[in-house]
């Protein structure tokens, strides 16, 4: 390390063919190593503090249009249809969708709880570190799930979406084996499950959903702002958005018993 100067380190960092994020992590590791080497007396000079990192170009995220989502739902068979419908309405991450169990749903109140994720068959906690999150489901989605469960095959862990062996689905395999072939068959540009999430976020913006509700639903908020325990009753704005989104995604689904909007409960979009 005594023989390495800033020029050699910069040349090494620039030559490594990895993503900008990985390169940033590499430099951070080098700086940590150099700090230890200096404190232990192995080196006296600093060769890593002024390393220039490449600019990170923000990638345009794939987002399905509303028309594309409806075409996907029309073309999909079960149980993939249920997966795509949940992805479009709830904006859950792929791993969170694969980690859903029947007990996570409260059909009477129209709520779903998100407290686990599945990645390559392994169950993990969600990214919301300190609390579960729960939010409202539309009447249309609750009705669909009730009908789906009439044909659902039970498994040991009560996974909503399970393989024949009773293990939870792998999102990467679903995208590769089911979603992408379907997109190709209907002439839609390829995307993953995350494209449903981005579409949902765009629809929330279009419907004027309050920022706090958006954060609650997508799990990006500070723990103090997220919905707390499962016993939480969804806010009026959360419930209104779920109903509006249900009508947009499934316009031909059975209507709710509650027709119209009461005078003191104005819709989010006029």
Reported residue count of the chain is 270
Residue 211 inside a domain? The answer is yes
pLDDT at 186: 97
Residues in contact with 124: Cβ distance below 8 Å, sequence separation at least 6, in sequence order: 95, 116, 117, 118
Q: What is the three-class DSSP state of 181?
A: helix
- Around 126, how many Cα atoms within 13 Å sit in the side-chain half-sphere? 24
Whether residue 231 sits in one domain with residue 115: yes
Residue 261 placed within a domain: no
Q: Do 78 and 53 belong together in one domain? A: no
**Structural domain for 3, as ranges:** 1-58
pLDDT tens sequence across 49-75: 888 887 766 656 789 999 999 999 999
CB 13 within 8 A of CB 26: yes
**Any domain includes 130:** yes
Tens-place pLDDT, residues 95-119: 999 999 999 999 999 999 998 999 8
Examine the domain organization and report whether 2 and 105 are in the same domain. Answer: no
Cis-peptide, bond into residue 79, ω within 30° of zero: yes
User: Are 138 and 220 found together in one domain?
Assistant: yes
Mean pLDDT by 10 residues, the chain (270 residues): 88 85 88 92 89 71 92 97 96 95 95 91 68 84 96 96 95 96 97 94 86 80 36 58 84 59 38
How many domains in the chain?
A: 2
Q: Are residues 54 and 71 in the same domain?
A: no
pTM of the complete model: 0.68
Claim to verify: residue 54 and residue 114 sit in the same structural domain? no
Q: Are residues 27 and 111 in the same domain?
A: no
Let me know whether 4 and 130 are in one domain. no
pLDDT, residue 268, reads 42
Pair (24, 157) in one structural domain: no
Residue 265 lies in a domain: no
For residue 254, is it within any domain? no
- H or E stretch including 77? none
Per-residue model confidence as pLDDT tens digits over 203-228: 888 888 888 888 888 886 543 332 33
Q: What is the pLDDT of residue 221?
A: 54
Which helix (H) or strand (E) segment is 133 a member of? strand 133-136
Q: Looking at the structure, do residues 182 and 51 belong to the same domain, yes or no?
A: no
Nearest 5°: CA angle at 219, between 23 and 152? 110
Give me the pLDDT at residue 205, please. Answer: 85
Q: Exposed, middle or buried: residue 162 (CB in 10 Å: 0-12, 13-18, 19+)? A: buried
* CATH code of residue 89: 1.10.443.10
Sign of CA dihedral 142, 145, 149, 155: negative
Residue 92 sits in the same domain as residue 221: yes
Query: Does 157 share its domain with 236?
Result: yes
């Amino acid at each position: 390390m005594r023989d390495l100067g800033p020029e050699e380190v910069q040349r090494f960092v620039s030559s490594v063919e990895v993503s900008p994020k990985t390169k940033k992590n590499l430099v951070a590791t080098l700086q940590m190593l150099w700090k230890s080497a200096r404190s232990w007396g192995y080196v006296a000079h600093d060769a890593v503090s002024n390393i220039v990192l490449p600019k990170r170009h923000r990638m345009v995220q794939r987002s399905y249009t509303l028309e594309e989502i409806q075409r996907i739902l029309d073309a999909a068979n079960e149980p993939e249809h249920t997966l795509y419908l949940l992805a479009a309405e709830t904006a859950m991450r792929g791993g969170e969708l694969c980690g859903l169990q029947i007990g996570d749903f409260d059909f009477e109140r129209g709520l779903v709880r998100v407290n686990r994720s599945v990645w390559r068959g392994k169950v993990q906690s969600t990214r919301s570190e300190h609390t579960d999150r729960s939010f409202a489901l539309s009447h249309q989605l609750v009705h669909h799930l009730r009908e789906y469960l009439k044909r659902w095959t039970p498994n040991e862990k009560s996974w909503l979406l399970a393989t024949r062996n009773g293990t939870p689905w792998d999102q990467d395999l679903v995208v590769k084996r089911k979603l992408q072939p379907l997109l190709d068959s209907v002439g839609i540009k390829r995307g993953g499950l995350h494209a449903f999430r981005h579409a949902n976020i765009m629809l929330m913006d279009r419907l004027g959903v309050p920022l706090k509700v958006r954060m609650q639903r997508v799990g990006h908020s500070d723990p103090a702002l997220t919905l707390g325990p499962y016993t939480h009753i969804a806010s009026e704005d959360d419930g209104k958005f779920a109903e509006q989104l249900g009508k947009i995604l499934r316009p031909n689904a059975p209507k709710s018993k509650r027709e119209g909007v009461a005078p003191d409960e104005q819709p989010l979009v006029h």
